[in-house]
């Protein structure tokens, strides 16, 4: 990967097709896909300083974050005059905005495939490989109304009125996921992990 001429490579699937791009609410309703996505994202955040053949992995969460200004470090040999790859004040930002989601999608998709292969049974691997094959980055339309019960805080009375709010998944500190290799001592189907969609700690 790193050290090669091309960082981005085509993603393949059995039929050569990718899934439809879903709204965030539809995306969250696909249990296998969101489970695999959260595991993959957490893995990439954890290994943000990994390298290949003594070269940085430019597709880690930390490296890709630099495309939009932080961390203010070089990305794949490019460093602008103010010390970061790109910021919203630079004239190149439309181009950089295009590169960032492409890199983000590619790295997450590859990591999801990798994680899917870690499931112990053939049936599970097929379920999660299918989920990885139909994965595309979801979108969030901020003017789409959502149900009050999806966003109210525990203990608060639900407001029956139509509301527009940040999807609840982005506000939870922890989430439950079905890991490929759960701890055999706890014998549980699901494990609690820090929510990678809620926060990221710079290494």
DSSP characters for 138-201? -B--TTS-B-GGGTPPTTSPPP-S-B----GGGT-SEEEE--SS--TTT--S-EEEE-TTT---
Structure confidence at residue 12 as a pLDDT band (50, 70, 90): low
Cα(166)–Cα(145) distance, rounded to whole angstroms? 10
Answer yes or no: pTM beyond 0.85. Answer: no
For 5, the token pair is 């001429």
Residue 74 predicted with pLDDT over 70: no
Structure confidence at residue 88 as a pLDDT band (50, 70, 90): very low
Mean pLDDT of 143-148: 68
Give the CB-side neighbour count of residue 115, counting CA atoms within 13 A.
29
Look up residue 7 and give its DSSP letter: S
Structure confidence at residue 182 as a pLDDT band (50, 70, 90): low
Token pair 């290799």 in the structure block, residue: 181
- What pLDDT score was predicted for residue 143? 79
Cα(112)–Cα(195) distance, rounded to whole angstroms? 16
pLDDT in tens, 164-174: 778 888 989 99
């Amino acid at each position: 990967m790193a050290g090669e001429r091309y960082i981005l490579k085509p993603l393949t699937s059995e039929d050569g097709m990718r899934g439809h791009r879903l709204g965030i609410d539809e995306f969250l309703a696909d249990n296998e896909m969101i489970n695999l996505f959260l595991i993959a994202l957490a893995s990439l955040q954890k290994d943000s300083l990994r390298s290949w053949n003594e070269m940085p992995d430019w597709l880690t969460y930390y490296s890709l974050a630099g495309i939009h200004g932080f961390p203010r470090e070089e990305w794949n040999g490019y460093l602008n005059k103010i010390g970061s790859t790109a910021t919203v004040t630079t004239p190149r930002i439309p181009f950089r905005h295009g590169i960032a989601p492409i890199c983000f999608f590619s790295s997450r998709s590859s990591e999801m495939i990798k994680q899917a292969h870690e499931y112990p049974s053939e049936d599970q691997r097929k379920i999660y490989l299918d989920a990885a094959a139909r994965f595309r980055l979801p979108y969030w339309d901020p003017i789409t109304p959502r149900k009050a019960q999806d966003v109210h805080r525990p203990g608060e009375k639900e407001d029956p009125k139509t509301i527009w709010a940040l999807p609840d998944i982005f506000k939870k500190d922890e989430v439950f996921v079905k890991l490929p290799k759960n701890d055999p001592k706890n014998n549980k189907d699901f494990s609690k992990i820090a929510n990678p969609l809620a926060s990221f700690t710079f290494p």
